[in-house]
Amino acid sequence: MKNPDSLDSQEINRLYLYFYLVPVIGFFPALWALYRHQGNRQQQTVSRLAVMMALLWLIGAILFTSSGQIAEPLQLRLVIANSLFTSGYFLVNLWLMFRLFQGKRVYLPGISPLAERVTRKYLP
Protein backbone atom coordinates (compact mmCIF):
# COMPACT_ATOMS: atom_id res chain seq x y z
CA MET A 1 0.00 0.00 0.00
CA LYS A 2 1.25 3.45 -0.94
CA ASN A 3 2.03 5.97 1.75
CA PRO A 4 -0.35 8.95 1.24
CA ASP A 5 2.44 11.41 2.05
CA SER A 6 4.87 10.07 -0.55
CA LEU A 7 5.09 11.45 -4.05
CA ASP A 8 5.45 9.23 -7.07
CA SER A 9 7.76 10.12 -9.95
CA GLN A 10 4.91 11.52 -12.07
CA GLU A 11 3.94 14.00 -9.34
CA ILE A 12 7.57 15.02 -8.84
CA ASN A 13 7.90 15.51 -12.60
CA ARG A 14 4.84 17.76 -12.58
CA LEU A 15 6.28 19.81 -9.68
CA TYR A 16 9.47 20.36 -11.67
CA LEU A 17 7.40 21.57 -14.63
CA TYR A 18 5.49 24.03 -12.45
CA PHE A 19 8.74 25.29 -10.97
CA TYR A 20 10.26 25.86 -14.43
CA LEU A 21 7.23 27.94 -15.40
CA VAL A 22 7.47 30.33 -12.43
CA PRO A 23 8.15 33.73 -14.02
CA VAL A 24 11.76 34.96 -13.74
CA ILE A 25 12.76 32.54 -10.94
CA GLY A 26 12.04 29.39 -12.97
CA PHE A 27 14.57 30.48 -15.57
CA PHE A 28 17.51 29.38 -13.44
CA PRO A 29 16.48 25.77 -12.68
CA ALA A 30 15.23 25.40 -16.27
CA LEU A 31 18.57 26.56 -17.64
CA TRP A 32 20.40 24.27 -15.22
CA ALA A 33 18.29 21.29 -16.32
CA LEU A 34 19.09 22.03 -19.96
CA TYR A 35 22.77 22.51 -19.31
CA ARG A 36 23.04 19.27 -17.32
CA HIS A 37 20.70 17.33 -19.66
CA GLN A 38 18.52 16.40 -16.70
CA GLY A 39 14.92 15.29 -16.79
CA ASN A 40 12.73 13.50 -19.26
CA ARG A 41 11.64 14.78 -22.65
CA GLN A 42 8.71 16.80 -21.29
CA GLN A 43 10.94 18.50 -18.71
CA GLN A 44 13.45 19.36 -21.42
CA THR A 45 10.71 20.82 -23.65
CA VAL A 46 9.21 22.93 -20.86
CA SER A 47 12.71 24.03 -19.79
CA ARG A 48 13.47 25.22 -23.31
CA LEU A 49 10.21 27.15 -23.46
CA ALA A 50 10.74 28.71 -20.02
CA VAL A 51 14.29 29.78 -20.86
CA MET A 52 13.26 31.26 -24.22
CA MET A 53 10.32 33.15 -22.73
CA ALA A 54 12.48 34.58 -19.94
CA LEU A 55 15.16 35.68 -22.38
CA LEU A 56 12.60 37.28 -24.70
CA TRP A 57 11.05 39.07 -21.73
CA LEU A 58 14.46 40.30 -20.55
CA ILE A 59 15.40 41.58 -24.01
CA GLY A 60 12.02 43.29 -24.38
CA ALA A 61 12.23 44.90 -20.95
CA ILE A 62 15.74 46.19 -21.66
CA LEU A 63 14.65 47.61 -25.01
CA PHE A 64 11.60 49.34 -23.53
CA THR A 65 13.66 50.79 -20.68
CA SER A 66 16.54 51.98 -22.83
CA SER A 67 14.18 53.44 -25.43
CA GLY A 68 12.48 55.41 -22.68
CA GLN A 69 15.82 56.93 -21.73
CA ILE A 70 16.58 57.94 -25.33
CA ALA A 71 13.15 59.22 -26.39
CA GLU A 72 12.07 61.49 -23.54
CA PRO A 73 8.68 62.50 -25.05
CA LEU A 74 7.70 58.83 -25.41
CA GLN A 75 8.90 57.82 -21.97
CA LEU A 76 5.46 57.46 -20.35
CA ARG A 77 4.13 55.42 -23.27
CA LEU A 78 7.14 53.13 -23.18
CA VAL A 79 6.81 52.61 -19.42
CA ILE A 80 3.17 51.64 -19.91
CA ALA A 81 4.11 49.34 -22.80
CA ASN A 82 6.82 47.76 -20.65
CA SER A 83 4.37 47.12 -17.83
CA LEU A 84 1.88 45.54 -20.25
CA PHE A 85 4.66 43.42 -21.76
CA THR A 86 5.77 42.24 -18.31
CA SER A 87 2.18 41.53 -17.26
CA GLY A 88 1.72 39.52 -20.43
CA TYR A 89 4.81 37.45 -19.65
CA PHE A 90 3.48 36.65 -16.18
CA LEU A 91 -0.01 35.84 -17.49
CA VAL A 92 1.32 33.55 -20.21
CA ASN A 93 3.33 31.65 -17.60
CA LEU A 94 0.24 31.31 -15.40
CA TRP A 95 -1.78 30.17 -18.41
CA LEU A 96 0.85 27.52 -19.21
CA MET A 97 0.72 26.34 -15.59
CA PHE A 98 -3.05 26.07 -15.88
CA ARG A 99 -2.69 24.03 -19.09
CA LEU A 100 -0.24 21.79 -17.28
CA PHE A 101 -2.75 21.39 -14.45
CA GLN A 102 -5.39 20.35 -17.00
CA GLY A 103 -3.01 17.78 -18.43
CA LYS A 104 -2.74 19.56 -21.77
CA ARG A 105 0.34 20.21 -23.84
CA VAL A 106 2.56 23.14 -22.82
CA TYR A 107 3.16 24.77 -26.20
CA LEU A 108 3.23 28.27 -27.66
CA PRO A 109 3.05 28.60 -31.45
CA GLY A 110 6.11 30.36 -32.77
CA ILE A 111 7.97 30.45 -29.47
CA SER A 112 8.18 26.70 -28.78
CA PRO A 113 9.78 25.84 -32.15
CA LEU A 114 12.14 28.81 -31.78
CA ALA A 115 13.10 27.61 -28.30
CA GLU A 116 13.82 24.13 -29.65
CA ARG A 117 16.10 25.46 -32.40
CA VAL A 118 17.96 28.03 -30.31
CA THR A 119 18.62 25.92 -27.23
CA ARG A 120 19.69 22.88 -29.24
CA LYS A 121 22.11 25.09 -31.15
CA TYR A 122 23.64 27.06 -28.27
CA LEU A 123 23.45 24.69 -25.31
CA PRO A 124 25.72 21.65 -25.22
Structural domain harbouring 58: 9-122
- Report whether 86 contacts 97 (CB < 8 A): no
* Cβ pair 42, 13 in contact under 8 A: yes
Residue 110 near residue 56, CB atoms below 8 Å: no
**What's the total number of domains in the chain?**
1
pTM of the entire structure? 0.87
The 10s digit of each residue's pLDDT in 46-101 is 999 999 999 999 999 999 988 877 877 888 898 999 999 999 999 999 999 999 99
Q: Is residue 4 part of a domain?
A: no
How confident is the model over 14-61, as pLDDT tens digits? 999 999 999 999 999 999 999 998 889 999 999 999 999 999 999 999
- 3 lies in a domain? no
